[in-house]
């Protein structure tokens, strides 16, 4: 990979390397709390989300002859509440407040027709009284179901366009809204949108530290989820608290693992600076699996369909085909391949995404 050791962000003094690191003090829970409280916030979620056992799922794996850890649990970030819930409910509490603080009255977003992020901004904008345009690309004839339907219900103006014109369409909306005397905000242009997801999951770290103690989980823990800001925020929390928490992130779309690791390390330096943290993330802080991402973004393979069925049947827990089903197919796949260390308790991060399940109903027909 092409990372120069002296490259800009990584040279920042917030970054330390475990090998040459002197014994340092860990950041206190109170420091995280205080810094979180200082940030403007617009409430969208019911927090804390529950941490629940996955005992019947664990038993189903044991019945297959798979070696499993003593404790397997799920962090239910699918039940944040608003608009069918999900991890974006945490992220956008900070983002909507940030938009309101900037005095904007209109939000312009560019994303896929199946985007959970697009749905949450629709919900946040509805609640905050902001006008919302979603430039929805990739599938001009996607049926009005799942997230797209919910966006429409919550008042989003949907502009369907081929991907290559998405930016032009957004710029035109920006111009028209400005001329009409409004103050529009193009979400993907604001760097804050890249770090708020990690910030949202620093708070998840606070919740989990307490919940794991209450659940009597001791020893090493492995958090299992998807590539993104959420799991990175959790790892950043753990690293600065000196906790024995490891993370595995399954990819859900094409892309180089090294690129994700690099972007994540860069973002973590920004968050570390904002929160006055000792450590940011190194490229090898997150284990990333690329084997379970399926044929394309938004397209599940057979293992994902099997994982969704298996967990639903064992636990009454519903996963989605684009994200959490992929993460779960990764967990099941790695268990079956004997690559999971059974000394580590597993906590599966259920990050939401449920409305998109209904857009894939045909894949569940017998
Ligand atoms: C957006 C999303 C993710 C991953 O992205 P983050 O950067 O962590 O927010 C994972 N799961 C679901 C359901 C999502 O919508």
How far, in Å, are 227, 253, 274, 348 from residue 286 at the CA level? Answer: 9, 17, 21, 15
* Alpha carbon of 178 to ligand 1 centroid (Å): 31
Which of 7, 18, 115, 139 is flagged as catalytic?
115
Domain limits for position 52: 21-85+193-364
* Alpha carbon of 32 to ligand 1 centroid (Å): 22
Are 74 and 127 contained in the same domain?
Answer: no
7 falls within a domain: no
Ligand 1 pocket, residue 355 CB under 6 Å: no
139 falls within a domain: yes
Are 81 and 101 contained in the same domain?
Answer: no
As given in the structure block, the two tokens for residue 229 are: 């800001």
Are 322 and 209 contained in the same domain?
Answer: yes
* Alpha carbon of 226 to ligand 1 centroid (Å): 7
pTM comes to 0.92
Are 177 and 325 contained in the same domain?
Answer: no
12 falls within a domain: no
Query: What pLDDT does residue 141 have?
Result: 87
| DSSP-derived 3-state class of residue 356 | helix
Smallest CA-to-CA distance from 264 within 228, 226, 297 is with 228
Ligand 1 pocket, residue 303 CB under 6 Å: no
127 falls within a domain: yes
* Residue where a domain terminates, one of 137, 158, 190: 190
Helix/strand/coil percentages in the chain, nearest 5: 50, 15, 35
Ligand 1 pocket, residue 230 CB under 6 Å: yes
Q: The domain that contains 302 carries what CATH number?
A: 3.40.50.1100
Are 211 and 115 contained in the same domain?
Answer: no
* Residue where a domain terminates, one of 190, 219, 239: 190
Ligand 1 pocket, residue 330 CB under 6 Å: no
Q: How many distinct structural domains can be found in the chain?
A: 2
80 falls within a domain: yes
Cα R_g (the chain), whole angstroms: 20
Are 172 and 137 contained in the same domain?
Answer: yes
Are 162 and 179 contained in the same domain?
Answer: yes
Q: In angstroms, rounded to a whole number, what is the distance separating the alpha carbons of residues 23 and 281?
A: 17
Q: In angstroms, rounded to a whole number, what is the distance separating the alpha carbons of residues 61 and 52?
A: 17
Residues 6 or more apart in contact with residue 95 via CB below 8 angstroms = 121, 124, 187, 192, 193, 196
CA of 232, closest atom in ligand 1: 8
* Alpha carbon of 275 to ligand 1 centroid (Å): 22
Are 339 and 211 contained in the same domain?
Answer: yes
Ligand 1 pocket, residue 86 CB under 6 Å: yes
Smallest CA-to-CA distance from 130 within 183, 85, 87 is with 183
How far, in Å, are 17, 219, 352 from residue 319 at the CA level? Answer: 37, 28, 7
Query: What pLDDT does residue 24 have?
Result: 61
CA of 201, closest atom in ligand 1: 8
Residue 327: CB atoms within 10 Å:
29
- CB–CB of 232/202 below 8 Å? no
Are 236 and 124 contained in the same domain?
Answer: no
Residue 276: CB atoms within 10 Å:
12
Are 115 and 172 contained in the same domain?
Answer: yes
Ligand 1 pocket, residue 251 CB under 6 Å: no
- CB–CB of 303/325 below 8 Å? no
pLDDT tens string for the chain (366 positions)? 333 333 333 333 444 444 454 556 789 999 999 999 999 999 999 999 999 999 999 999 999 999 999 999 999 999 999 999 999 999 999 999 999 999 999 999 999 999 999 999 999 999 999 999 999 988 788 899 999 999 999 999 999 999 999 999 999 999 999 999 999 999 999 999 889 999 999 999 999 999 999 999 999 999 999 999 999 999 999 999 999 999 999 999 999 999 999 999 999 999 999 999 999 999 999 999 999 999 999 999 999 999 999 999 999 999 999 999 999 999 999 999 999 999 999 999 999 999 999 999 999 998
Q: In angstroms, rounded to a whole number, what is the distance separating the alpha carbons of residues 327 and 331?
A: 6
Task: Say how many CA atoms lie within 13 Å of 325 toward its Cβ.
Answer: 27
Ligand 1 pocket, residue 228 CB under 6 Å: yes
302 falls within a domain: yes
Are 225 and 347 contained in the same domain?
Answer: yes
Q: Is 115 a catalytic residue?
A: yes
Residues 6 or more apart in contact with residue 65 via CB below 8 angstroms = none
Q: In angstroms, rounded to a whole number, what is the distance separating the alpha carbons of residues 95 and 92?
A: 4
Q: In angstroms, rounded to a whole number, what is the distance separating the alpha carbons of residues 120 and 138?
A: 19
Are 132 and 166 contained in the same domain?
Answer: yes
Determine which residue's CA is closest to atom 4 belonging to ligand 1.
228
* Alpha carbon of 248 to ligand 1 centroid (Å): 14
* Residue where a domain terminates, one of 190, 211, 231: 190
């Amino acid at each position: 990979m092409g990372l120069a050791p002296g490259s800009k962000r990584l040279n920042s003094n917030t970054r330390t390397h475990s090998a040459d690191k002197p014994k340092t003090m860990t950041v206190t829970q109170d420091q995280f709390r205080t810094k979180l409280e200082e940030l403007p916030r617009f409430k969208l979620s019911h927090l804390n989300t529950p941490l629940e056992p996955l005992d019947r799922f664990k038993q189903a794996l044991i019945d297959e002859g798979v070696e499993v850890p003593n404790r397997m649990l799920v962090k239910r970030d699918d039940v944040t509440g608003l608009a069918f819930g999900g991890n974006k409910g945490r992220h956008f509490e900070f983002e909507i407040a940030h938009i309101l603080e900037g005095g904007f009255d209109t939000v312009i977003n560019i994303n896929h027709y199946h985007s959970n992020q697009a749905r949450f901004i629709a919900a946040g904008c509805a609640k905050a009284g902001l006008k919302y345009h979603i430039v929805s690309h990739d599938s001009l004839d996607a049926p009005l179901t799942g997230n797209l339907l919910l966006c429409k219900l919550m008042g989003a103006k949907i502009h369907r366009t081929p991907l290559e014109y998405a930016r032009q369409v957004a710029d035109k909306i920006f111009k028209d809204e400005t001329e009409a005397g409004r103050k529009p905000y193009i979400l993907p242009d604001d760097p804050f949108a890249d770090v708020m997801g990690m910030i949202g999951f620093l708070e998840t770290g606070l919740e989990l530290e307490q919940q794991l103690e209450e659940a009597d989980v001791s020893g090493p823990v492995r958090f299992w989820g998807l590539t993104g800001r959420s799991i990175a925020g959790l790892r950043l929390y753990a690293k600065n608290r000196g906790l024995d928490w490891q993370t595995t992130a399954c990819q859900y779309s094409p892309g180089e693992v090294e690129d994700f690791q690099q972007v994540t390390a860069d973002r973590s330096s920004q968050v570390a600076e904002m929160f006055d943290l000792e450590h940011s993330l190194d490229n090898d802080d997150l284990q990333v699996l690329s084997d379970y991402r399926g044929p394309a973004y938004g397209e599940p393979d057979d293992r994902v369909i099997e994982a969704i069925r298996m967990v639903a049947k064992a636990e009454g827990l519903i996963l989605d085909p684009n994200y959490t089903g992929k993460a779960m197919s990764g967990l099941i796949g790695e268990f079956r391949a004997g690559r999971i260390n059974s000394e580590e308790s597993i906590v599966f991060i259920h990050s939401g995404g449920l409305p998109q399940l209904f857009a894939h109903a045909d894949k569940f027909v017998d």
